[in-house]
């Protein structure tokens, strides 16, 4: 496994571009926010997730970290924004599985779901770096749960009004 | 200078990523162990293992003898006597032993002779801004629990301790000053004398974190004048899970214990307990005996080499690491630069590479077989003060070669190009 195989061009590009970066206020019906820290290096991310009905309506984040963590958050933002909640769950589970695969590719169905995120397959070979790749996904998971709860609460209130 | 010692360290012959030879530059975190240590531990386990200071059988006697001989070796390394050396699980436990002992005293334990350990509202506890978390958090928490105030000696923009305003920081209200003998990030060896002088002027205890110094430079506790000192086995070519607290005997005999159990006591009734004198009062339960024997062998190995020779060897490695790193474009050497005769440094260099995260730097090094430390090295406040979240550290020991140091500098030179950072 070469260094180039781990730092694929798509990862380097995402690390630079930082899709979704900027902690803007969200307007979705259900909103959640999560702050995650990687204690080994002090890297941090704050992520906001907005849910409208059955859809991940918006993602916004701010943070600092290594190229793996930053690229992973960028890819995540691009992948799940606009997806249904069920698909977002599947993408999340697929990425977790990719990180646990010890560098092996997943089945075609899950790799299709992951798109650019399959480029992180090499990270699974470096246990110390898996946390870097998962930092944003942990924030997403946490913020999404809050947003979902808030969204269903808003729907109930809306129904009563 | 030191002879080539690599033959003594079997792990250095293994290969790592991509079949490359290992370039081990993470000794500041954990040092490798010579055969003398590995064999001392194994021989103890094979031939002498038994309960220390309990039982009247031969193995118990041999185990006790090995345990106490190791204590004497560790004491000799730092110019102390054996009854002033307490075994702990490491430097972290040793520092906690002192801070928790002071907490116990503050709760009323220890009677009149523990008076000097008591802290409360109006009292001050002093540390420095560059401490390892192990020598910050125990004091921070002691302050929080007793209502004492935590103050610290600050560092300048280069990460060097500012010793000019000592008398304003170490005030008359100060009960303890805890500071490191050498920074695990900048590598700079602390000018101990003025801090100890001021601490003693106000009647405060001087507690030294010797984790980074004892393994690398001559350390003589009497000469340093400190009251207590903590250090670890695994950084001085010994095993993990063992370390030591040295303290002046009358202090150790007065400091209340904070971990309670068998073996540390004189008389126990259902209601009360009286303690043995130090060091036994701090060693309840079964100790890491094989590891202590290994640490004793490590002390012996270092003394045989001569700590002056070890320090000279590592100064040479430091020079290659620091001059090499500082000369690279886009690489910032952490810590004071300039006139190198102004301060002494350990054999280490921590760097920040502009535009590249420390984990990414570490990955490039690892790809070349170079083991270095990345992150904040358990010194978050120092990194924050210097405007960094982390750095990449190469640290040496007796087996480190000049080629190792050159390999680090050379690999570092290619990092920015790999990540496409050109500005």
Q: What does the pLDDT look like over B385-404, one tens digit per residue?
A: 999 989 999 999 999 999 99
Q: Does A2 touch chain B (CB under 8 A)?
A: yes
- Tell me, yes or no, if the pTM score tops 0.90: yes
Instruction: Decide if pLDDT at B54 tops 90.
Output: no
Within-domain flag for B36: no
Q: What is the pLDDT of residues A76-91, one digit of tens each?
A: 999 999 999 999 999 9
Alpha-carbon Rg for chain A, nearest whole angstrom, is 16
Q: Does A41 touch chain B (CB under 8 A)?
A: yes
Q: What is the mean pLDDT of residues B24-43?
A: 98
Residue B378 is a catalytic residue:
yes
Cβ contact, residue pair B380, A12, below 8 Å: no
Within-domain flag for B165: yes
First to last CA, chain B: 41
B314 and B342 in a common domain: yes
Structure tokens, B385: 């003060």
B314 and B193 in a common domain: no
Q: Are B319 and B409 a contacting pair, CB within 8 Å?
A: no
For residue A60, give how far its alpha carbon lies from the nearest alpha carbon of chain B (Å): 22
- Last residue of some domain: B259, B287, B303? B303
* Residues of chain B contacting residue A66, judged by C-beta atoms under 8 Å apart: 357-360
* Residues of chain B contacting residue A37, judged by C-beta atoms under 8 Å apart: none
Instruction: Indicate the length of chain B as a whole number.
Output: 423
Confidence band (pLDDT; 50, 70, 90) for B136? very high
Confidence band (pLDDT; 50, 70, 90) for B53? confident
B389 and B319 in a common domain: yes
B248 and B366 in a common domain: no
Looking at residue B411, which CATH number applies to its domain? 3.90.1150.10
Q: Does B49 touch chain A (CB under 8 A)?
A: no
Q: What is the mean pLDDT of residues A25-40?
A: 93
Looking at residue B111, which CATH number applies to its domain? 3.40.640.10
Nearest CB neighbour to B380, from listed A42, A43, A64: A42
What is the residue-averaged pLDDT of chain B? 96
Domain ranges of chain A: 3-152
B276 and B347 in a common domain: no
Q: What is the pLDDT of residues A105-141, one digit of tens each?
A: 999 999 999 999 999 999 999 998 999 999 999 999 9
Cβ contact, residue pair B363, A2, below 8 Å: no
* Residues of chain B contacting residue A7, judged by C-beta atoms under 8 Å apart: 360, 363, 418-419
Rounded-to-integer distance, Cα A135 and Cα A72, Å: 8
Instruction: Decide if pLDDT at A42 tops 90.
Output: no
Q: What is the mean pLDDT of residues B316-344?
A: 89
B313 and B205 in a common domain: no
* Structural domain range at position B407: 6-30+306-418
Cβ contact, residue pair B359, A66, below 8 Å: yes
Q: What is the pLDDT of residues B157-179, one digit of tens each?
A: 999 999 999 999 999 999 999 99
pLDDT at position B341 is 72
Q: Does A10 touch chain B (CB under 8 A)?
A: no
For residue A120, give how far its alpha carbon lies from the nearest alpha carbon of chain B (Å): 14
B184 and B125 in a common domain: yes
Confidence band (pLDDT; 50, 70, 90) for A1? low
Residue of B17, B359, B371, B414 to mutate for A, most A C-beta atoms under 10 A:
B359
Residue tagged 């360290």 (tokens):
B9
Confidence band (pLDDT; 50, 70, 90) for B58? very high
Which has more confidence, A1 or B167? B167
Q: Does A135 touch chain B (CB under 8 A)?
A: no
Nearest CB neighbour to B375, from listed A3, A41, A126: A41
Residue of A1, A2, A4, A7 to mutate for B, most B C-beta atoms under 10 A:
A7
Residue in B365, B36, B11, B340 with CA at minimum distance from that of residue B188: B340
Q: Which CATH class is domain A3-152?
A: alpha beta
pLDDT at position B336 is 84
The domain total for chain B is: 2
Cβ contact, residue pair B419, A12, below 8 Å: yes
Sequential DSSP letters for chain A: --HHHHS-HHHHHHHHH-TTBS-PPP-SSEEEEEEEEETTTTEEEEEEEEEETTEEEEEEEEEE--HHHHHHHHHHHHHHTT-BHHHHHHHHHHHHHHHTTTT----HHHHHHHGGGGGGGGGGG-HHHHHHHHHHHHHHHHHHHHHHHHHHHHHHHHHH-
pLDDT at position A121 is 94
Q: What is the pLDDT of residues B63-82, one digit of tens each?
A: 999 999 999 999 999 999 99
- Last residue of some domain: B285, B303, B321? B303
Q: What is the mean pLDDT of residues B292-306?
A: 98
B74 and B14 in a common domain: no
pLDDT at position A157 is 65
- Three-class HEC string of chain B: CCCCCHHHCHHHHCECHHHCECEECECCCCCCCCHHHHHHHHHHHHHHCCCCCCCCCHHHHHHHHHHHHHHHHHHHHCCCCHHHEEEECCHHHHHHHHHHHHHHHHCCCCCHHHHHHCCCCCCEEEEECCCCHHHCHHHHHHHHHHCCEEEEECECCCCCECCCCHHHHCCCCEEEEEEECECCCCCEECCHHHHHHHHHHCCCEEEEECCCCCCCCCCCHHHHCCCEEEEECCCCCCCCCCEEEEECHHHHHHCCCCCCCCCCEEEECCCCEEECCCCHHHCCCCCCHHHHHHHHHHHHHHHHHCHHHHHHHHHHHHHHHHHHHHCCCCEEECCCCCCCCCCCECCEEEEEECCCCHHHHHHHHHHCCEECEEECCCCHHHHHHCCCCCEEEEECCCCCCHHHHHHHHHHHHCHHHHCCCCC
pLDDT at position B55 is 78
Q: Does B420 touch chain A (CB under 8 A)?
A: yes
Q: What is the mean pLDDT of residues B31-36?
A: 98
Residue of B20, B355, B357, B416 to mutate for A, most A C-beta atoms under 10 A:
B357
Q: Does B54 touch chain A (CB under 8 A)?
A: no
B314 and B249 in a common domain: no
B263 and B365 in a common domain: no
Q: Are B359 and B132 a contacting pair, CB within 8 Å?
A: no
In this structure, the dihedral spanned by the alpha carbons of residues A86, A88, A91 and A96, taken in order and rounded to 10 degrees, is: -100
Q: What is the pLDDT of residues B366-387, one digit of tens each?
A: 999 999 999 999 999 999 999 9
Confidence band (pLDDT; 50, 70, 90) for A161? very low
Choose, from B378, B407, B409, B411, the residue flagged as catalytic: B378
pLDDT at position A158 is 57
Instruction: Decide if pLDDT at A159 tops 90.
Output: no
The angle formed by the CA atoms of residues B79, B85 and B90, to the nearest 5 degrees, is 110
* Residues of chain B contacting residue A132, judged by C-beta atoms under 8 Å apart: 359
Residue tagged 């040479």 (tokens):
B316
Within-domain flag for B423: no
Q: What is the mean pLDDT of residues A35-43?
A: 89
Structure tokens, B234: 């695994």
Residue tagged 């004793």 (tokens):
B296
Confidence band (pLDDT; 50, 70, 90) for B358? very high
B368 and B297 in a common domain: no
Q: Does B364 touch chain A (CB under 8 A)?
A: yes
Backbone angles phi, psi at B246, to 5 degrees: -100, 145
B254 and B315 in a common domain: no
Q: What is the pLDDT of residues B245-295, one digit of tens each?
A: 999 999 999 999 999 999 889 999 999 999 999 999 999 999 999 999 999
Furthest-apart CA atoms within chain B: distance in Å: 73
What is the residue-averaged pLDDT of chain A? 92
Cβ contact, residue pair A41, B390, below 8 Å: yes
- Last residue of some domain: B303, B330, B347? B303
Q: Does B269 touch chain A (CB under 8 A)?
A: no
Q: Does B137 touch chain A (CB under 8 A)?
A: no
Within-domain flag for B72: yes
* Residues of chain B contacting residue A128, judged by C-beta atoms under 8 Å apart: 359
**Cis peptide upstream of residue B279 (ω within 30 degrees of 0):** yes
Rounded-to-integer distance, Cα B165 and Cα B86, Å: 34
Chain-centre distance for alpha carbon A51: 15
């Amino acid at each position: 496994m070469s260094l180039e195989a781990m730092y694929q061009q798509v990862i380097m590009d995402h690390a630079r571009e930082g899709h979704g970066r900027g902690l803007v206020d969200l307007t979705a019906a259900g909103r959640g926010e999560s702050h995650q820290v990687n204690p080994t290096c002090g890297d941090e991310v704050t992520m906001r997730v907005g849910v409208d009905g059955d859809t991940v309506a918006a993602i916004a984040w701010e943070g600092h970290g290594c190229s793996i963590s930053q690229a992973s958050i960028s890819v995540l933002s691009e992948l799940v924004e606009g997806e249904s909640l069920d698909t977002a769950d599947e993408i999340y589970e697929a990425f977790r599985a990719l990180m646990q695969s010890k560098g092996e590719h997943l089945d075609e169905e899950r790799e299709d779901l992951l798109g650019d995120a399959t480029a992180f397959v090499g990270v699974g070979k470096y246990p110390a770096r898996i946390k870097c790749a998962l930092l944003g996904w942990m924030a997403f998971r946490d913020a999404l749960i809050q947003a979902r709860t808030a969204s269903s609460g808003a729907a109930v209130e809306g129904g009563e009004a | 200078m030191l002879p080539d010692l690599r033959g003594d360290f079997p792990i250095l012959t293994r290969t790592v990523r991509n079949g490359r030879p290992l370039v081990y530059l993470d000794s500041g975190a954990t040092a490798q162990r010579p055969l003398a240590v590995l064999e001392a531990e194994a021989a103890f386990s094979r031939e002498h293992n038994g309960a220390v200071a309990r039982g009247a059988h031969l193995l118990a006697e041999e185990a006790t003898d090995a345990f106490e001989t190791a204590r004497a070796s560790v004491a000799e390394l730092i110019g102390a006597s054996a009854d002033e050396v307490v075994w702990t699980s490491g430097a972290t436990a040793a520092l906690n032993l002192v801070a928790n002992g002071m907490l116990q005293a503050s709760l009323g334990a220890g009677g009149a002779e523990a008076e000097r350990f008591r802290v409360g509202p109006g009292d001050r506890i002093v540390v420095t801004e560059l401490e390892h978390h192990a020598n910050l958090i125990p004091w921070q928490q002691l302050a929080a629990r007793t209502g004492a105030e935590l103050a610290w000696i600050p560092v300048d923009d280069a990460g060097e301790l500012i010793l000019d305003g000592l008398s304003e920081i170490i005030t008359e209200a100060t009960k303890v000053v805890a500071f490191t003998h050498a920074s695990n990030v900048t590598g700079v060896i602390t000018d101990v004398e003025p801090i100890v002088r001021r601490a003693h002027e106000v009647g405060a205890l001087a507690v030294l974190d010797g984790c980074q110094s004892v393994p690398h430079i001559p350390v003589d506790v009497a000469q340093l004048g400190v009251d207590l000192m903590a250090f670890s086995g695994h950084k001085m070519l010994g095993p993990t899970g063992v370390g030591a607290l040295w303290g002046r005997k009358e202090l150790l005999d007065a400091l209340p214990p904070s971990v309670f159990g068998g073996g540390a006591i004189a008389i126990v009734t259902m209601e009360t307990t009286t303690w043995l004198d130090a060091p036994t009062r701090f060693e309840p339960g079964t100790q890491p005996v094989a590891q202590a024997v290994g640490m004793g062998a490590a002390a012996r190995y270092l003394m045989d080499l001569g700590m002056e020779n070890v320090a000279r060897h590592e100064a040479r490695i430091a020079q290659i690491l620091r001059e090499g790193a500082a000369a690279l474009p886009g690489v910032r050497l952490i810590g004071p630069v300039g006139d190198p005769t102004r301060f002494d440094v350990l054999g280490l260099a921590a760097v920040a590479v502009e535009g590249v995260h420390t984990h990414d730097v570490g990955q490039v090094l690892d790809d070349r077989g170079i083991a270095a430390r990345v992150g904040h090295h358990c010194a978050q406040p120092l990194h924050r003060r210097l405007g960094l979240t982390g750095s990449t550290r190469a640290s040496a020991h007796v087996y480190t070669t000049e080629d190792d140091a050159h390999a680090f500098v050379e690999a570092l030179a290619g990092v920015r190009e790999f990540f496409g950072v050109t500005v």
